Amino acid sequence: MKGIQTKKLSTALLLPIIATVFSVLMALTIIDAAAEKLHLTGELSIEAEHILTITADAAEDAFWTYNEVSLNKIGETLANYQAVASIKMMDADNQPIFETSKRTKPYDNKYLYPSFTREIIRNNQKIGEIQLVFTTYYLNQAITTAIFLGFIRTLFIILIIVALIIFRSKNLSGSIDKIADGVKAFSEGDTETRIQVKDSHEIKNLADRINRLFEDILESRTKLTENYEELEKQEEALRISEERYRYAVEGSNDAIWDWDLQNCEYYVSKRGLQMIGLMEHNSMSLESWMCFIHPQDRAHFENYLQGFYQNNSNFGQIEFRVIGSKGETRWLFCRGKGIFDQNNKLMRVSGFYTDITDRINAEEAINKLAYYDVLTGLPNRAMLFEHSNQLLVESEQAGKSGALLYIDLDNFKAINDTRGHATGDHVLVGIAKELVEAIHYDTIARIAGDELIVINKDCTMMEASKLANEIMRIISNPRNIDGFEFIITCSIGITMFPEDGTDINKLLMNADSAMYHAKEQGKDQFKFFEQSANEMMVKKIELQYEIRRGIRDREFVLYYQPQIDFLTGLICGVEALVRWQHPTRGLLPPFEFIELAEESGLIVPLGEQILTEACRQSVIWENAGYKDLTMAVNFSAKQINKKDIVEVVFGILRKTGMRPELLDIEITESIAMENLENTLSIIKKIKNKGVKFSLDDFGTGYSSLNYLHKLPIDHLKIDKQFVQNMRPGSFEEVVIKATIEIAHSMNLVVVAEGVETKEQFEAILAYNGDRAQGYLFSKPVPAKELETLLNNDLKPIEGS
C-alpha cells in the first residue's frame, strides 16, 4: 500500500516538477547565454580597441614615413587574429595602403560586427587611418555551446530529480514542494527568496545548487545591465565616428563611388550626382553613368575599369570629362581601389571622384600664356622653338625641303608713334587673323613686336617665293581703322632647310639676315638667305659690338669745323663732328659707323656723349676768351624722338654750365617730317631755354615751304651738293638764290655748307648768304688746332 502511495506521489510530483525545473533552468540558461553574449561582445569591443591602440602605436612611425613594408607586416600580423575579418590601412588622403578580407564561412557578411576605426595623429595632423572588422562567428559558436551545455545540465538535473523522486519520493515530497515553491517564487520576480530544506545531504545539495544558480542569474543580470550600458556607449561612439567620416567626405567636396560586381550595382554619392547636375534622388547605374562621360573619353574610362580585371590592379587613377545635364563640360579625377576575393577574383571597385575643372582651366590658361601670344593668339617664340624642332626632324627624315620665312613690317613704329599703340595692336591682330585664314601651313608665330614667322615643312624655293608674295599681298591690303587708311608693307627673309641648316636658332639667324638684306634693298620685298649676305650681317654684329665698346671706353672724339660770318670774315661758330679713334683701325670717319649706330639705337647713348663733350668744350673756349662762339651739334631721329630728350638736353647744359644760347642743334628735313607734331613740340620746349635750331641739308628732302614755315628754327643750311654743283645760270644757282631770299623773309640765318673754292665763296656772298662752312676755310680739326685757327683768324679773311 505504501509502495502504491509512493508511486502515486512520485508520479504526481514528477511531471510538474520536471516541467517547472526544465522551464526555469532552460530560461535561466538562455538568460545566462544572453548575458554571456553581451559579456563576450563587450570583451570583443574592448579587445578591438586594445588591438587598435597597440596597432596605432606600432604603425605611427610607418605611417609618418609611408613605410609600406612595415605597414604590410603589421597588417599581416593583425590578419592572424581569428576574430579579425578584414583590415584596411589608408594614408592621410584616404588612399588604401594595405587591405585584406577573409572570405571563408566564419567571415560572411551576416557574422560581421560594425567596423572599428582609429585615426593616426601626429603633430595634430592626420597621417593615416586603420579600420578593423571583426566576426561574431566564433562568439556565436561559444554561445551555442553554452546553450547546449545548459540544456545538458538541465537534463542532468532533471534526471537527478527524477531519480530522487523515484527512490525517495516518500521523504522528498516536502522538500520538493519547497524547491518548487522557491523556483516558482524566483521566476516570478522574488529575487530574495532562497530554498531552505532539512533533508538528506543530496536534497540539501540540490537546494544549495539551485540557490547558487539564483545567485549566478542575479550576477549575470547585473553584468548584462552593465554590458548593455557599455554597448550603448560604444554605439554612441560609433555613431560619432561615422558622423565625422561623413563630414570629412562632404568637406572634401569629393564624391564616393562603388561598383559591386557581385550584385551588378553601381553607386554614386550625392556629390557625384551634383557634379553632373542630377538631384540626390536620381538613381544611377554604370550604363547611365557612362552616358554622362564625354564621348571622346568613354573608351578611356572603359579601359580604366578593364585594367582592374585584366591586370589584377589594386589601385588606379584617371582624368576624364563628363557632360552635365545642362550641357556643361567638367573634368573629374577618379581614384579607384579593386577588392579581390581569396581566389583573386575582382569583387568590387570603390573610390572617389574629384572635380578638377578649375585646375584644368587654370593649367590651360597658364599654358596659353606660356606658349601663345596674348594679343594675336598666335604661337609665341617658346611654342615656335618647341614645335619646330620636331617639325625639322620630320622634314629631314622624310627627305623633303622646307622654308622658314621671317616677316618684319616696314615702318610699323610710325603707326604706334603717330596713332598710338592701340591702333598698332589693331593692325597686328588683323594681319594675324588674315594670315591664319589664308595660309594653312605648319606654323605661324609672332616672336616680337612686328615680327612674324611662317614655316612650311614641305616646299621648294619656287613655292616659298609664291608664299612670300601671297603674304606680302595680304599684309599690304588697305586697312581702315578709326577713319584712317593704312597701307603696310613688309620685308621677308627666307631660309631653306635642311639646305641652310636644321637648327631653329641657325635658321632664324639666316632668315633674319635675309630679311635685313631685303630692308637694305628698299623694303617691301623678300630675299633668300645667302652666305655672303650673312657674312656681312656677322660683320655688322661685330661692328655693333665694337661701337658699344667704343662708347663705353670713350673712343669717340670730336673734330670741329669752323663757320665763317660773311659780314665780318670771323669765325662765328663751329660744328662738332664725331670721329672714332678705333684701337686697331685708327681714326674712322662717320660713314664707317653712324648708319649702324642709328639702326641699332646706339646713336642715343653716343649722341648724349657727343653733346656732353661739345658743351664741355664750349665752356672751355668761353672761359678762354672766345666769346659768343656757337656750337652746332647734329641730332639723329632716334635722339630727337626720345621721350626724355628735353630733360637730357637741359641736364647736360646744367652739368657742363654751357650757355643755352650758344648751343645750335642741327636736324635734317627727314627727321623733322618723320613725326612733325612731336618734333615741333620738342623744339619749342628746348627753345624756351634759349637753345637754337638749324635745319640741315635743306633742299635734299621735302623742301616744303609749308612745313618750313611751321618749324621754329633759327638757321637754314644749304646742302653742299647745291654749292659744289653751282654754276652761273644753273638750276643749283636758282635754288640757292631762292632759298636765301625765302630764308631771309622768315628771319632765318643761311649757312652754306661745302664751300671749297673762292668762287663759291664769292657767289654765296653775292647772293647775300650769312655764313659759310667748308674746306676753303678748314677741314674738321681737333679742339687744339681749332684754337690756333681762332687765334689766327680773329680778323677779316683776306680778300673778303
The larger pLDDT score, comparing residue 440 to residue 626, is at: 626
Rounded CA-CA distance 428/516 in Å is 20
pLDDT at 800 over 50: no
Q: Please compute the mean of the pLDDT values over residues 346-362 and round it to a whole number.
A: 87
| Mutual angle of helices 68-79 and 2-65, in 10-degree steps | 180
The larger pLDDT score, comparing residue 533 to residue 650, is at: 650
Domain topology for 253-362: Beta-Lactamase (3.30.450)
Helix boundaries (H) for 66-126? 68-79
- pTM, two decimals, is 0.44
Q: Please compute the mean of the pLDDT values over residues 626-647 and round it to a whole number.
A: 93
pLDDT for 534: 60
pLDDT tier at 405 (50, 70, 90 boundaries)?
Answer: very high
For the chain, give the percent of residues with pLDDT over 90: 36
pLDDT for 245: 52
Lowest mean pLDDT across 100-104, 596-600, 610-614: 100-104
754 half-sphere exposure, CB direction, 13 A CA radius = 13
Closest-CA residue to 408 (of 303, 508, 335, 541): 508
**Domain spanning 376-529 has what CATH number?**
3.30.70.270
The larger pLDDT score, comparing residue 529 to residue 179, is at: 529
Q: Please compute the mean of the pLDDT values over residues 481-497 and round it to a whole number.
A: 89
pLDDT for 475: 94
Output DSSP code: residue 719: P
CA angle 269, 274, 277 (to 5 degrees): 135
Q: Please compute the mean of the pLDDT values over residues 263-275 and round it to a whole number.
A: 84
Q: Please compute the mean of the pLDDT values over residues 57-63 and round it to a whole number.
A: 81
DSSP string, 27-64: HHHHHHHHHHHHHHHHHHHHHHHHHHHHHHHHHHHHHH
Q: Please compute the mean of the pLDDT values over residues 66-83 and round it to a whole number.
A: 81
When the pLDDT of each residue in the chain is averaged and rounded to a whole number, the result is 84
Give residue-wise pLDDT tens across range 581-604: 999 999 999 999 999 999 889 999
pLDDT for 796: 36
Which amino acid is it at 735?
V
Q: Please compute the mean of the pLDDT values over residues 442-464 and round it to a whole number.
A: 90
Lowest mean pLDDT across 46-50, 194-198, 247-251, 308-312: 247-251
pLDDT tier at 166 (50, 70, 90 boundaries)?
Answer: low
Q: Please compute the mean of the pLDDT values over residues 569-580 and round it to a whole number.
A: 96
The larger pLDDT score, comparing residue 234 to residue 620, is at: 620
CA distances from 786 to 554, 574, 655, 800 (A): 21, 9, 24, 21
CATH superfamily of domain region 562-577+602-792: EAL domain (3.20.20.450)
Q: Could you check whether the bond before residue 498 is cis, i.e. omega within 30 degrees of 0? A: yes
pLDDT for 795: 41
Residues 6+ apart with CB under 8 A from 438: 470, 474
pLDDT for 468: 94
pLDDT for 6: 45
Q: Please compute the mean of the pLDDT values over residues 123-135 and round it to a whole number.
A: 85
pLDDT for 388: 86
pLDDT for 431: 93
The larger pLDDT score, comparing residue 673 to residue 564, is at: 564
pLDDT for 344: 85
pLDDT tier at 666 (50, 70, 90 boundaries)?
Answer: very high
Lowest mean pLDDT across 250-259, 293-302, 482-491, 510-519: 250-259
Establish whether domains 376-529 and 562-577+602-792 are of one fold.
no
H or E element that contains 251:
helix 201-252
Domain topology for 20-160: Beta-Lactamase (3.30.450)
pLDDT for 61: 80
Rounded CA-CA distance 593/582 in Å is 11
pLDDT at 171 over 60: no
Residue extents of the structural domains in the chain: 20-160, 253-362, 376-529, 562-577+602-792
3-state secondary structure 736-796: HHHHHHHHHHCCCEEEEECCCCHHHHHHHHHCCCCEEECCCCCCCECHHHHHHHHHHCCCC
The larger pLDDT score, comparing residue 486 to residue 692, is at: 692
* Greatest mean pLDDT range, 268-282, 380-394, 654-668, 719-733: 654-668
Neighbours of 66 (CB within 10 A): 13
pLDDT for 165: 67
DSSP strand pairing (526-528 vs 490-497): parallel
pLDDT at 432 over 90: yes
CA angle 610, 612, 613 (to 5 degrees): 65
Rounded CA-CA distance 36/229 in Å is 15
Give residue-wise pLDDT tens across range 104-113: 777 777 777 7
Q: Please compute the mean of the pLDDT values over residues 306-322 and round it to a whole number.
A: 82
